[in-house]
């Protein structure tokens, strides 16, 4: 009897054990499925977030580089457009020799713009150039033509900032940082190829005056070619950066009339793929070792978070540094300058704006690879000289800025400037064996003496740099040494 009862109990117990095994199996399966699905979901979210952040950062960097190029075009154009001789020789008494030799010649020989145009007060094209060859055939612009639209916008910009003076009209003096208010940037098709276009009014600089009405407009164009792409990419270091007529690229380009001309595109970084390199092995591992599922999930989620944090840190580093020189870029420098400006009353500092001399000749003779080597060499020399006393940045093709926070007295600033002039001008041996040398011009602004906001301080340094170059290049000029009326303009 007992034997039968025991057998019955065993028989009754067997199904319970089976159910327990099935329950454990189901629980284990559910645990694996939940763990795997959770990890896959986290991986998908982290991968998408990392890729999206990288894409947004790259777009922002590209737009910054494009704006820097447009500002450079506007600055180059303003050098000849804001000129009393240009007002006399173009607007008042058009002089073909002046336009050809001085106006267009300066744009071509000094700044390298092969295409330029002059539009008169009636909206008629009176001159166009290819390199240093000028065609004075007059042409009435179609109102719907891109050049006509750009010209009208430039006229509107002039009218907004013109001022009436005794005997005529002039234009309000603008800070360097406000050049965009009086210049027009757009895109157009020039000679059958897409191009970046900048336009501004030809206005007096000192004593000349304009009559009432629209002024003549000067226009320069830079074709979107391999040279421009290389120039932009020297700040970006993107893979396969290119421009095509395909409008579905990363950054579409529209002409002034609204026509889609094409788009810029590049092979974006995908930090999310590195995350999947962690997720997939973890999923396989979890399906094999159920007992260690919880531990492995915690461990690999930590790895996943670390991978995401690393990718985000890499993106942040890329957003704050110039890829060619390794120096701080404009975003990082502007932030550091803003922080220093807030404390300027208690902790004075200085900003040194620098622009290389003869750098274009290196590019023209030895190529852009040589130009890149020169930029890296100059960056290393500046970084070594400044050391712990400040921050060195590169904000354009051959433009450098230095935030000096270690000291602000004139003696040590002049000593540093002299060391920079000497070091930068030392000959450099290119990889191909050629010996080249460049120079640098410096503009020094000390805060808070020259201003108490980042914008004013930077504008003072830029303005001083321009004055330094005008005095002969290869020299350093303090803002305080400029004539009082010029210092007022810069402030």
- CA 102 → CA 76, 80, 92, 141, 226, distances in Å? 14, 9, 16, 25, 29
CA dihedral 58, 62, 65, 66 (to 10 degrees): -170
Does the N-terminal peptide bond of residue 448 adopt cis geometry, omega within 30 degrees of 0? yes
Query: Could you report the average pLDDT of every consecutive run of 10 residues in the chain (491 residues)?
Result: 43 50 72 78 80 89 91 90 91 91 91 91 89 91 92 93 90 81 92 94 90 93 92 90 92 93 92 76 75 60 59 69 91 93 94 94 91 95 95 92 95 96 94 91 94 92 92 90 66 44
Residue with the two structure tokens 């095509």: 244
Architecture of domain 330-490: 2-Layer Sandwich (3.30)
Q: Please give the Cα distance from 291 to 300 (Å, whole number).
A: 15
Helix axes of 330-342 and 293-320: crossing angle, nearest 10 degrees: 80
Provide CB contacts within 8 A for 19, sequence distance 6+: none
Q: Please give the Cα distance from 466 to 142 (Å, whole number).
A: 37
DSSP 249-297: SSEEEE-TTS-EEEEEEEE---THHHHHHHHHHHHHHHHH-GGGHHHHH
Return the structure tokens found at 177.
């940082």
Q: Please give the Cα distance from 483 to 356 (Å, whole number).
A: 24
CATH of region 66-266, choose from 3.40.50, 3.30.390, 3.30.1330, 3.30.450? 3.30.450
DSSP 296-332: HHHHHHHHHHHHHHHHHHHHHHHHHB-TTT-SB-HHH
192: left (phi over 0), alpha (psi -120 to 50) or beta: left
Which residues make beta-bridge pairs with 197? 186, 221
Provide the pLDDT for residue 478.
95
Provide the pLDDT for residue 320.
85
Is pTM beyond 0.75? Reply is no
Return the structure tokens found at 81.
């457009």
Q: Give the strands of the sheet with 260-267, arranged side by side.
A: 239-244, 260-267, 251-254
Q: CA nearest 78: which of 186, 164, 192, 198?
A: 198
Return the structure tokens found at 454.
């980042």
CB 325 within 8 A of CB 392: no
Return the structure tokens found at 490.
């810069």
Give, as one character, the DSSP assignment of residue 442.
Answer: E
What are the sequence ranges of the domains in the chain?
31-65+271-318, 66-266, 330-490
- The 10 Å Cβ neighbour count of residue 278 is 18
Q: Please give the Cα distance from 362 to 425 (Å, whole number).
A: 13
Residue with the two structure tokens 């793929």: 273
Per residue, the 3-state secondary structure of 157-181, as one string, reads HHHHHEEEECCEEEECCCCHHHHHH
Provide CB contacts within 8 A for 33, sequence distance 6+: none
Q: Please give the Cα distance from 366 to 364 (Å, whole number).
A: 6
């Amino acid at each position: 009897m007992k034997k039968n009862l025991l057998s019955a109990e065993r028989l009754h117990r067997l199904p319970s054990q089976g159910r327990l095994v099935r329950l454990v199996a189901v629980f284990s399966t559910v645990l694996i499925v939940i763990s795997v699905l959770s990890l896959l979901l986290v991986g998908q979210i982290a991968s998408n977030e990392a890729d999206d952040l990288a894409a947004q950062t790259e777009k922002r960097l590209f737009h910054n580089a494009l704006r820097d190029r447009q500002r450079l075009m506007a600055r180059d154009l303003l050098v000849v457009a804001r000129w009393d001789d240009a007002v006399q020789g173009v607007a008042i008494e058009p002089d073909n020799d002046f336009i050809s030799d001085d106006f267009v010649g300066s744009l071509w020989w000094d700044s390298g713009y092969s295409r330029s145009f002059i539009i008169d007060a009636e909206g008629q094209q009176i001159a166009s150039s290819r390199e240093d060859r000028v065609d004075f055939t007059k042409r009435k612009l179609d109102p719907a033509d891109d050049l006509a639209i750009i010209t009208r916008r430039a006229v509107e910009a002039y009218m907004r900032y013109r001022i009436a003076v005794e005997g005529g009209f002039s234009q309000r003096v603008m800070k360097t940082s406000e050049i965009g208010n009086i210049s027009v940037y757009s895109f157009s098709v020039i000679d059958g190829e897409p191009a970046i276009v900048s336009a501004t009014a030809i206005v007096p600089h000192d004593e000349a005056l304009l009559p009432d009405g629209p002024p003549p407009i000067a226009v320069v164009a830079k074709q979107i070619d391999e040279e421009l792409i290389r120039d932009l990419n020297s700040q970006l270091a993107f893979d396969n950066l290119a421009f095509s007529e395909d409008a579905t690229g990363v950054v579409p380009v529209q002409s002034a009339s609204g026509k889609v001309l094409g788009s810029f595109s590049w092979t974006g970084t995908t930090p999310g793929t590195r995350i999947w390199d962690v997720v997939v092995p973890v999923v396989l591992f979890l399906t094999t070792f159920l007992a260690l599922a919880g531990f492995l999930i915690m461990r690999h989620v930590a790895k996943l978070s670390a991978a995401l944090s690393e990718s985000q840190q890499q993106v942040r580093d890329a957003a704050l540094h110039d890829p060619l020189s390794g120096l701080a870029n404009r975003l990082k420098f502007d932030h550091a300058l803003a922080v220093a400006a807030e404390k300027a009353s208690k902790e004075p500092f200085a900003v040194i704006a620098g622009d290389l001399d003869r750098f274009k000749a290196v590019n023209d003779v030895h190529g852009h690879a040589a130009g890149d080597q020169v930029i890296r060499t100059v960056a290393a020399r500046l970084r070594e000289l400044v050391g712990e006393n400040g921050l060195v940045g590169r904000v354009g093709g051959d433009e450098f800025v230095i935030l000096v926070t270690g000291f602000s007295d004139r003696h040590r600033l002049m000593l540093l400037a002299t060391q920079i002039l000497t070091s930068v001008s030392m000959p450099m041996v290119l990889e191909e064996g050629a010996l080249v040398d460049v120079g640098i011009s410096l503009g020094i602004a000390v805060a808070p003496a020259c201003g108490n906001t980042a914008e004013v301080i930077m504008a003072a340094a830029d303005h001083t740099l321009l004055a330094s170059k005008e005095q002969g290049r290869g020299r350093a000029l303090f803002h305080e040494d400029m004539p009082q009326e010029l210092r007022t303009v810069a402030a």
